[in-house]
Amino acid sequence: MKRAARLICLLLALLMLIGCGAPQEQTETPTSAPDSSGAALETQAIDQVADKTEQALAEIALLGESPDDNYRTWYEIFVYSFCDSNGDGIGDLPGLTSRLDYLQELGITGLWLMPIHPSTTYHKYNVSDYYAIDPAYGTLEDFKQLLDMAHAMGIRVLLDLVHSHAVKNTAEGINMFDGTTWQFFHDGDKGEHPAWGTKCFDYGKTGVIHFLLSNLKFWMTEYHFDGFRFDGVTSMLYHDHGLGTDFNSNDKYFSYNTHTEAITYLQLANELIRQVNPDAITVAEDMSGMPGMCLPIEDGGIGFDYRLAMGLPDMWIKAVKQQDEFWDINKMWGDMCLRRPGEGTVAYVESHDQALVGDQTMIFRLAGANMYTDMNKDCHNPVIDRAIALHKMIRLFTLAGGGEGYLNFMGNEFGHPEWIDFPREGNGWSHKYARRQWDLVDNKNLNFHHLGDFDAAMLQVIKSQKNIQKTPVQEIWHSDYDQILAYTRKDLLFVFNFNPCKSFTGYGLLVPAGSYEVVLNTDAKEFGGNGLNDDSVKHFTMFDPLHKKYRKEWLKLYLPARTAMVLRKCK
């Protein structure tokens, strides 16, 4: 607000300067020709003032946008594998800082860092020091430089925080720090996580609460993090950690199994975070669907801004395991919309859970080993063509229909061909596949850049609609037989033809009367498609007296097989 006030004062001063420099009404005939050099200098000065005025107006307009005005798009980063700046085979903070320009061009609004603390495991989720970063990633000064640079670019940074459990090791971590098992953790079996082999915090102890809350404040005040993703929240909410529970009825949320002390801690954490930074963002990794997770504390909620839509990756994995001609569009639509109203949801196709060693990325599930030989854009392997088409459609469907925010794991925007594989005996202790291969997306002869370009365009289309995350997703039409789905969100109309072999000419959709223009098409040649539609054509609705009172008319479209398009209603 102070910066906005200063800019407004600057703008007023600049306007006064323009007024003082404006020509006065002439009362006498000049006795000599005007000084042309003086007039030129005056014109130059006025132009400079005008340029500064325009810049001030632009900055004021930006400041006028609340952090809640735009759809949030997050980019999840595992620092170890993102970008190596010193050639040691390990990604680091300077390497990440060097790629911020790429992330800004992609159109993301925030970074989402996987744990950066020292850890006994490669994925860093078994934390041994909550107040430090892994020295292999760089120094704390490197960290400050990263956050300062990201903030200067308008990119927020969230930290993946693990307050659900801690490393069991006594040599590295806080287990038995004072010689006892109960300083930070429950004693006995309750202090042992049965699935992860880690220690469980005792949230009923004042000292533990102080330790964890101080940890939150440390990262926010010392390094100016913009919020946190809380890992393993489901494990915290229930005494049995939610293991083996299907959560198909409300009595499974609220019972003696509910860990009230852990819920109280999460409420305190969210309260503290907002006191330090009212604009901070918190995200809960909860697969149980706990009611009130993302409602305000004063309304009886836990206070998070978002929960992860953890069921969507599972839905897509199940879908691509069968041929797309058998996809149940109605069920997919139901699963996509299955979220609690009024509670923010971050939708995603895949995260680190699918991209680390042992699993498969979405593009690899679709294309398989063909990716190693046939991603040249002059090659038209039908397996690759299908994979590219569905990869774009799946991501667009999830982005526009799955929530109020969107998450992408690094490299998946351009269909990185491999999971992250760490040096081990099975691969000859090689670092080759432990990092992202950015040369793939930079190579214009490969289809990877088509996928990356589409992802950037997709994000821009969503972000062009202010407050789109606050508007409902409304179904226009779906047909399991045709495999067609259409829905609206604010001024955008999303139309999908998942049919693998049938295109439709003049397919009618009942929409608000008016004209529509295409703003995104998965089949555009610039995105590796066939360009079967002329996207410069404006589409006009056709009158139908039966729907006149609803102000609806028929929009007739050509829908090629395995394509999707986004149209915007013209004002």
CA-wise closest residue to 348 among 394, 382, 282, 379: 394
Q: Which one-letter amino acid corresponds to residue 514? A: G
b/e per residue, 108-131, with b = 16+ CB within 10 A?
Answer: bbbbbbbbbbbbeebbbbbbbebe
Six-digit token string for 410:
């690094």
Q: How far is Cα 192 from Cα 201, in angstroms, rounded to an integer? A: 9
CA end-to-end distance (rounded Å), the chain: 33
Q: Which of 231, 305, 453, 553 is catalytic?
A: 231
Which DSSP category does 564 fall into? E
Using alpha carbons, select from 286, 243, 298 the residue that is nearest to residue 262. 286
Angle between helices 36-63 and 2-20 (to 10 degrees): 160
- The whole-angstrom separation of Cα 571 and Cα 557 is 20
Distance, CA of 562 to CA of 503 (rounded, Å): 8
Residue 516 bridge partners (DSSP): 539, 569
Residue 200: both structure tokens together = 């469980």
Q: How far apart are CA 476 and CA 495, in angstroms?
A: 9
Q: One of 202, 226, 285, 453 is an active-site residue; which one?
A: 285
Strand partners, 563: 497
DSSP string of 305-335?
SEEE-THHHHHHHHHHTS-GGG--HHHHHHH
Active-site residue, 231 included: yes
The two tokens of residue 91 are 């990604």
Compute CA 284 distance to the chain's CA centroid, rounded to the nearest angstrom.
14
CA-CA-CA-CA torsion for 132, 137, 143, 145, nearest 10 degrees?
Answer: 160
Q: Are 212 and 269 in contact (CB under 8 A)?
A: yes
253: DSSP letter: T
Q: Name the nearest CA neighbour of 533 among 557, 568, 512.
A: 557
- Residue 285 bears catalytic tag: yes
- In 491-531, alpha helices (H): none
CB 228 within 8 A of CB 160: yes
* Rg of the chain on CA atoms, in Å: 27
User: What's the CA gap between 40 and 437, in Å, rounded?
Assistant: 54
Q: What residues are annotated to the active site?
A: 231, 285
